[in-house]
Every structure is written in C-alpha cells, then in structure tokens.
Chain A
Amino acid sequence: MYRLVPYLLLFVSTALLQLFLFDNLSISVYLNPLIYIAFVLLLPLDAPHVALLGAGLATGLVMDCAMGAAGLNTIATLPVAFLRPWIVGLAYNRDDAREGGIPSPERLGPWRFVNYLLLGVLLHHLIFFSLETLSLSHAWRLVLRIAASGVVSTAFVWLIARIFTAKFPVRV
C-alpha cells in the first residue's frame, strides 16, 4: 500500500503513452511497441503473486477496452504477470528477490535488469502477435514483428523504469 500513488501514476501514464503516443505512431507493420507491460514488470519484487495477477488483469482489461482488442491484451499480459516470479528468478537470485524493492538496474545489475525486461517483453509480444496473426503462413514475418517490436518496447520500458526509479532510493 505504501507505494500506491506512484504505481497508480505509473499505470495511468503507461496506459496514456500507449494509447495516445505509441498506438498513433504507425511507423511500420513490424514496429508496434506495447510499452504498457512496463507496469507489470516494474511492480515490487516482493509483491504477492495474486497482486501481480490482479495488476496484469487490470492492465489487460483497460488496454483491451481502449484499443478495441477483445481480450488480446489480457491474454498476453496475464501470463507475464503470473510467470513474473520465475522470470525474476531466471535473471536474478530468487532469495534476494524476496527482500523486495523495485526492479531496477541498481537492484538487479544493469545487464540482468535488461535481460529481465527483455524476457518479460518478449513473452508478452510472442503471445500478443501470435494470437493477433493466428497463422503460421508468414512465420518469418511474425518472428520479425515480435523481435523488432520487442526490442523497441524493451528500450522504452527501460527508459520508463529509469524515470520511475529515479524518484526512489534504490532499496525502497
């Protein structure tokens, strides 16, 4: 509860950025960054599992309604929220993660942090774009979409994380 307001702000700002900036960019079919996943990835390391799932559900539902995507965002966000403890575990020692704190380069180490973001974003984009396309007839195109959008999203999520954690002391 003690970081409710900053997280509410993060939720609203990522949603607004996604809706009014990134959804309007329309640069290329291969570049469709979905940066709202930043909210789920930046939740505290010691957040209860069910809270992660709830946050994932809320993010997915809000984005679905606003983007007119009929469940696609929810389907892609829920697994990321559900698997987040394991994603953290892959990039970082799980015992240390229990101590809590916001995922950040200072907390996890710069490369581990990027790996963690990349894993989460790629999982999300893999589900999102595979279900959106629902065909393997242009598999290489799908892979390119996931990879290009994933890398760009990760870069933006990293930027959002830097801005978000800049306000807090490292260990809060």
Chain B
Amino acid sequence: MHKLFEFIRSIYVVVLFVLLEVLAVSYYARSTSYTRARLLARSNHVVGGVHGVLAGVRRYFVLGRENRDLLERVAELTERLARYEEAETAAAFDERLAEIGESRLRVMNAAVIANTVNRAQNLIVLNRGRRDGVTDGMAVLSPSGAMVGYVADCTDRYAVAISVLNTSFRASGKLADSEYFGSIYWDGSDPHAVTMGELSKYAEPQPGQQVVTTGFSLYFPEGVTIGEVESAELNETRTAYTVRVRLAAHISQLSDVLLVENRDLYEIQDLLGSEKIQ
C-alpha cells in the first residue's frame, strides 16, 4: 500500500512536470516577436524605472562621443541647408515649404533604456510611449539616421522596438544609386552585420557600396542608410547575390534614437486590409 502511495506520488510530479512543460512549449510555439515585445512592454511597468536609472548612468560615459556625432550631424545639415539657400532665395524656399504643409514624416527623439545584442530575438526598450505620441510601426533610427528597428508595441510611458538584430526582423533594402533591391534580415551571429538576400545577379554589388532602405517597407522612409556592402557571393543556383552588409548603426552602443512616424501608415494599412483586396 505504501509502495502504491509512493508510486502515485512520484507519478503526480511527473504528470505535473509534463503538463507545465507542454503548456510552456505551446505558449512559446504560438508566440511571435510581437507577443514578446508586448510582454516586455507590460513588464516595463515594474522594471522600466530601474532600467531607466541604469541607462542614465551609462549615458554619462558616452556623452563625449554622442556630442561629437551630433555636431557632425549639425555640420552636415547646415551644409545641406546652405546649398538649398544658395539655389533659391530664402523667400521662395519658405513659400515652397508652406505649400508642402505638414510633412508625411514626423520625427521625435527617445532614449534607449534597455537593449540586448546577444540573443536571437533582440528587443530595444525606449523611454517614450503613447502619451509622448509614439505609435506602433514607427521607424527607429540612430542619431545619425541609420536603420535600427521599428516599434512593435508601446504602453503609456514605454515603447518596445524590434531591433534589426532580431531574427524575425525584415526590411527591404537596395544598393544606393541603383534600383536593385533585396530583403534585409539578420542571421543571428554578428551584431555588426546583416544579410541582404535575393539581390539580382545583375546588381554587381561592390564592397563599400552604400545600402539604403527602399520605399516598399511601410515602416521605413525611403533612403535611410542601412550600412555598406562588406562582401557578396552568388547563391548556388547563380541567380541572386547574398550580400553581407556592415551596419551603419552601432546597435550595442545606442543610447539615443530618432523615432520616425509615417503619417500615411495607418491609411495604407487600412487600404491593405480592405475587403475589396481580400
């Protein structure tokens, strides 16, 4: 009798273990990058504050470098502005700007409070949320304007972005100065490089050539720098290149980012979801 009791007791732990493991596996199997981003966004109610304080401390150590980068960017933009102003008189320029009215893109800044590069599915937590005007699908760019990721979910005070270093991240990229494009994804190994697949065999990518986003992706504006070609090889069937692209953004050293909203995104998504199309 005692043995039987012991047997049932040991079996009940086994059953419990199998049950819990099956539950966990099925939840994991059904989860997507979005589920994970949502989970992280929710848990930031609790741990977001501490992450924020730690990020604040880390920020002090990169202030110098950041300042230099910003100054470089200011210099570049001033130069570009000067060129425009030379081309037309300031008055004509203002008039034309007024004609354009509200730009299609809305830009804001945010600080990174948590970021990883050593997982297969890396996510970035930002200190701005819905109440600051962050919406799902905003592009995340580095301070110098290079591609970093896009916002997958946000709460009132925090946003979670899917990093370009996430094996579920997909974007569309092309060689600058040409119309050949391919799909950008990360293979999970090197945090400084991504892969551009299915690039036409006629593209002839050269090392050092710039890779930028196309306008096909809903999240990223056209022409955002992704990085530069490091190496390229034809695939086995010799129909397309697989290109290794060195990222322009140093994801592991990010402390501030730009968020860019495509004001037309919701309209386009509505249209794509319309009944006439499906």
Residues of chain A having any CB pair with chain B under 8 Å: 19-20, 23-32, 49-50, 53, 57, 60, 64-72, 74-75, 78-79, 82, 131-133, 138, 141
Select the residue from A70, A72, A82 with max chain B CB neighbours within 10 A. A70
Asked if B17 and A82 make an inter-chain contact with CB atoms under 8 angstroms apart, the answer reads: yes
A32 to B119, CA, bound (A): 7
Contacts A29-B191, A32-B118, A75-B21 given; does A49 touch B13 at CB 8 Å:
yes
**A interface secondary structure, majority:** helix
Contact of B269 with A by CB under 8 A: no
A74 to B190, CA, bound (A): 27
Asked if A65 and B119 make an inter-chain contact with CB atoms under 8 angstroms apart, the answer reads: no
Closest chain-B Cβ to A160's Cβ sits at a distance in Å of: 20
Contact of B67 with A by CB under 8 A: no
Chain A residues within 8 Å of B25, by CB: 71, 75
Asked if B40 and A68 make an inter-chain contact with CB atoms under 8 angstroms apart, the answer reads: yes
Supplied contacts A26-B252, A74-B20, 12 more A-B pairs, CB within 8 Å? A24-B116, A26-B117, A28-B118, A29-B190, A31-B118, A49-B13, A53-B16, A70-B28, A75-B24, A82-B13, A82-B14, A132-B121
A68 to B158, CA, bound (A): 14
Contact of B271 with A by CB under 8 A: no
A87 to B234, CA, bound (A): 48
Closest chain-A Cβ to B181's Cβ sits at a distance in Å of: 24
Q: Please report the total number of B residues contacting A with Cβ < 8 Å.
A: 42
Closest A-chain residue to B29, C-beta based?
A71
A82 to B19, CA, bound (A): 12
Instruction: Find residues 33-78 in chain B having any chain A CB closer than 8 Å to their own CB.
Output: 35-37, 39-43, 46-47, 50-51, 54
User: CB < 8 Å: which of A50, A67, A71 contacts B40?
Assistant: A67
**B interface secondary structure, majority:** helix
A23 to B50, CA, bound (A): 13
Closest chain-B Cβ to A127's Cβ sits at a distance in Å of: 10
A64 to B14, CA, bound (A): 23
Contact of B135 with A by CB under 8 A: no
Residues of chain B having any CB pair with chain A under 8 Å: 10, 12-14, 16-17, 20-21, 24-25, 27-28, 31, 35-37, 39-43, 46-47, 50-51, 54, 114-121, 123, 160, 187-191, 252
Instruction: Enumerate the 6 nearest inter-chain pairs by beta-carbon distance, A residue then B residue, closest first.
Output: A68-B40, A71-B28, A70-B31, A74-B24, A71-B27, A82-B17
Closest A-chain residue to B42, C-beta based?
A65
Closest chain-A Cβ to B222's Cβ sits at a distance in Å of: 31
Closest A-chain residue to B18, C-beta based?
A82
Chain B residues within 8 Å of A132, by CB: 119-121
Asked if A19 and B28 make an inter-chain contact with CB atoms under 8 angstroms apart, the answer reads: no
Asked if A68 and B188 make an inter-chain contact with CB atoms under 8 angstroms apart, the answer reads: no
A144 to B268, CA, bound (A): 44
Closest A-chain residue to B253, C-beta based?
A26
Contacts A70-B31, A71-B28 given; does A24 touch B54 at CB 8 Å:
yes
A70 to B23, CA, bound (A): 11
Chain B residues within 8 Å of A25, by CB: 118
Closest A-chain residue to B165, C-beta based?
A29
Chain A residues within 8 Å of B42, by CB: 65
A66 to B50, CA, bound (A): 12
What would 17 A/B residue contacts be, using CB atoms closer than 8 Å?
Answer: A20-B51, A20-B54, A26-B115, A27-B118, A30-B118, A65-B42, A66-B43, A68-B37, A70-B27, A71-B25, A71-B27, A71-B28, A79-B17, A79-B21, A82-B13, A82-B14, A138-B188
